[in-house]
Amino acid sequence: MSDTPEQTDPEERHRERMQRKKELVDRKIARATIERGVLVVNTGNGKGKSSSGFGMLARSLGHGFRCGVVQFIKGSFSTGEEAFFRRFPDELDYHVMGEGYTWETQDKARDIEAAEAAWKVAADMLADASIDFVLLDELNIALVKGYVDVAKVCEALKARPPQQHVVITGRGAPDTLVELADTVTEMRLVKHAFQAGIKAQKGIEL
């Protein structure tokens, strides 16, 4: 009789690993008992910050939430997300408040005025308990450039209704906002089609 231990079946080993993993995940789920609105910040130089925010907007609308969107920079050109989400006028309050990218406007005073007007709309949403989900697209850019005061934004976020979810996008998120947020994702650029001379495409960038 051989002294070599009997080989365990690969499928059985896989089941055992998955069972241990399931037990670990189940314990973490059981410990997550807090139910409240979360603050999500998508930042970094990579593509996908706004796309992720609009994905969460779609989820929220799917759950029957009342939602609000304020776009701080975009506004000088039409985008697919705007064209699509405006189909939900009863569930979604959608505001395109930007004047375009700062290198296009070349008018700081106008950019500041547009950002301040956008923040006023956003602040009203953050104070409205009937709005379940708020997307503040490219707000980080306005914060980094000093067009909107980050302390004022953080105070409004802290004072918002307890169950309200907020997503803020844009590169260069200030440290104070990152510290306040519940979930922060930094998009890292690896490659981008624009670097190869490919212009912005409908459905991808527009």
Q: Residue 103: is its pLDDT beyond 90?
A: no
Q: Residue 23: is its pLDDT beyond 90?
A: no
The amino acid at 47: K
Domain segments of the chain as ranges: 37-187
Range 76-88 average pLDDT: 84
Between 9-13, 31-35, 40-44, 71-75, the lowest mean confidence (pLDDT) is in 71-75
pLDDT of residue 49: 96
For 169, counting Cβ atoms within 10 Å of its Cβ (0-12 exposed, 13-18 middle, 19+ buried), the class is buried
Regarding the domain delimited by 37-187, which CATH topology (the fold level of the hierarchy) does it fall under? Rossmann fold (3.40.50)
- Per-residue pLDDT reduced to its tens digit, 159-178: 999 999 999 999 999 999 99
Sequence-distant (≥ 6) Cβ neighbours of residue 167 within 8 angstroms? 40, 41, 42, 52, 53, 56, 57, 133, 134, 135, 136
Sheet holding 183-187, edge to edge: 92-96, 67-71, 133-137, 165-169, 39-44, 183-187
pLDDT of residue 74: 67
Grouping H, G, I as helix, E, B as strand and the rest as coil, residue 118 is helix
Residue pair 81/54 in contact (Cβ under 8 Å)? The answer is: yes
Query: In sequence order, what are the beta bridge partners of 93?
Result: 68
Mean pLDDT score of the chain, rounded to an integer? 90
pLDDT of residue 42: 98
Range 2-20 average pLDDT: 77
Q: Residue 147: is its pLDDT beyond 60?
A: yes
